[in-house]
Amino acid sequence: MSYQPQPPMGAAPQPGMQPYGAAPNPYAAPPVAAPAAKKGKGLVLAGIGLAVVGLGTGVALIAMSGSAREETVKKFARAPAGCTTTLQFDKRATFTLYLETKGSVDDVEGDCAANGASYDRGDDDPPRVSLSLFDSADQVVELTAADSPSYSTGGYRGQATQRVRIAEPGTYRLTVTSDATDFAIAVGGDPDVDAASMKTAGIAAAIGGLLLGGLLILLGTRKRRPPVAAANAVPAWQQAPAPVPGYQPQGTVPGYQPQPQYTPPPSYAPAAPSAPPQWSQPGAPQPPTVQPPAAPPAPPAGSGWGAPER
């Protein structure tokens, strides 16, 4: 059983304690709860921040999509005109061959002497060109005509002219035959594939940020109803006083068992003398019968015994 010392008689109660048996003050102010306005303000600020971040991320991704298109075009393999170029295909896919009239060719493998030469030919007079593609077994790979897509970004401009399906990765040789030399054949995929992915991601980030941010703002600005009191709530002036910490009222001490109330025994009355035993054996001597003493004679009529003499 734990024991907590009580304050001395007449001493002021400790803060937060209430004397035992004192009725609560019905006019006392209730404890002040954290205002709901702070929570709503936090949701509004979080919603604004999320909307700004989502919108900024989306705008940045959309802006970067333009440069992604240019980077994709720069990575195309190129074969100069008038020679044979060795190309290495690393995957099975369909590739497009572009007639590139503006750009530059770095060092390539094959019998071409290109070393960073640049070219810029107008589109009004496209060159006549013949293309032949051979695999590692010197077998001709079929080419099909194509008229899209096209690109014009940064320092490159090209138009699709052929399309090829690479069935097996490996080394291939592309021969470009033409009377003109101020162009090149670029080999690659869709120039807009990376840019389209970045645009999609940017739009999704902007829309997601605006939607989630708007939802948080709506939750933060929504008016909250005050709590409804229960119909059977007990008034403050009828509520039982709060127990004093450490105080145990009499009769509730742990381990204490109340003693039963004392009940006096009934008044004592002497038992009547038992009758003498009766001899039942035949021929046995019988005990003498005891006669009770005779009652004393009654006093004579007169002033009575013991009366004072006159």
Q: Say yes or no: 40 and 180 in one domain.
A: no
pLDDT at residue 98, as a whole number: 95
Q: Say yes or no: 61 and 200 in one domain.
A: yes
- Which residues, in sequence order, are bridge partners of residue 162? 97, 145
In the chain, % of residues over pLDDT 70: 57
- CA atoms of 54 and 243, how far apart (whole Å): 55
Q: Say yes or no: 202 and 135 in one domain.
A: no
- Which residues, in sequence order, are bridge partners of residue 118? 104
Domain membership of residue 52 (yes or no) is yes
pLDDT(43) > 90: no
pLDDT(270) > 80: no
Domain membership of residue 287 (yes or no) is no
Q: Say yes or no: 170 and 116 in one domain.
A: yes
Q: Say yes or no: 118 and 161 in one domain.
A: yes
Q: Say yes or no: 62 and 120 in one domain.
A: no
Q: Say yes or no: 127 and 66 in one domain.
A: no
Residue 90 belongs to domain spanning: 77-188
- CA atoms of 204 and 67, how far apart (whole Å): 19
Count: domains in the chain: 2
For the chain, what is the HEC assignment? CCCCCCCCCCCCCCCCCCCCCCCCCCCCCCCCCCCHHHHHHHHHHHHHHHHHHHHHHHHHHHHHHHHHHHHHHHCCEEEECCEEEEEEECCCEEEEEEEEEEEEECCCCECCCCCCEEEECCCCCCCCEEEEEECCCCCECCEEECCCCEEEECCEEEEEEEEEEECCCEEEEEEEEECCCCCEEEEECCCCHHHHHHHHHHHHHHHHHHHHHHHHHHHHHCCCCCCCCCCCCCCHHHCCCCCCCCCCCCCCCCCCCCCCCCCCCCCCCCCCCCCCCCCCCCCCCCCCCCCCCCCCCCCCCCCCCCCCCC
Q: Say yes or no: 102 and 40 in one domain.
A: no
Domain membership of residue 140 (yes or no) is yes
Domain membership of residue 304 (yes or no) is no
CATH of the domain at 95: 2.60.120
Q: Say yes or no: 144 and 179 in one domain.
A: yes
Domain membership of residue 137 (yes or no) is yes
CB 97 within 8 A of CB 149: no
Write down which residue in 203, 222, 241 finishes a domain. Answer: 222
Domain membership of residue 271 (yes or no) is no
Name the band, by pLDDT with cuts 50, 70 and 90, for residue 248.
low
pLDDT(195) > 90: no
Q: Taking residues 196-209, what's their average pLDDT? A: 85
Q: Taking residues 216-245, what's their average pLDDT? A: 64
Q: Which residue has the higher pLDDT, 143 or 248?
A: 143
pLDDT in tens, 45-75: 888 888 888 888 888 888 877 778 888 898 8
Parallel, antiparallel, or unpaired: how do β-strands 156-166 and 129-134 relate? unpaired
Q: Say yes or no: 198 and 156 in one domain.
A: no
Write down which residue in 163, 188, 213 finishes a domain. Answer: 188
Q: Say yes or no: 83 and 181 in one domain.
A: yes
Write down which residue in 139, 162, 188 finishes a domain. Answer: 188
Mean pLDDT is lowest, of 63-77, 85-99, 224-238, for 224-238
Q: Say yes or no: 139 and 169 in one domain.
A: yes
pLDDT(310) > 50: no
Q: Taking residues 86-98, what's their average pLDDT? A: 92
Q: What is the pTM of this model?
A: 0.51
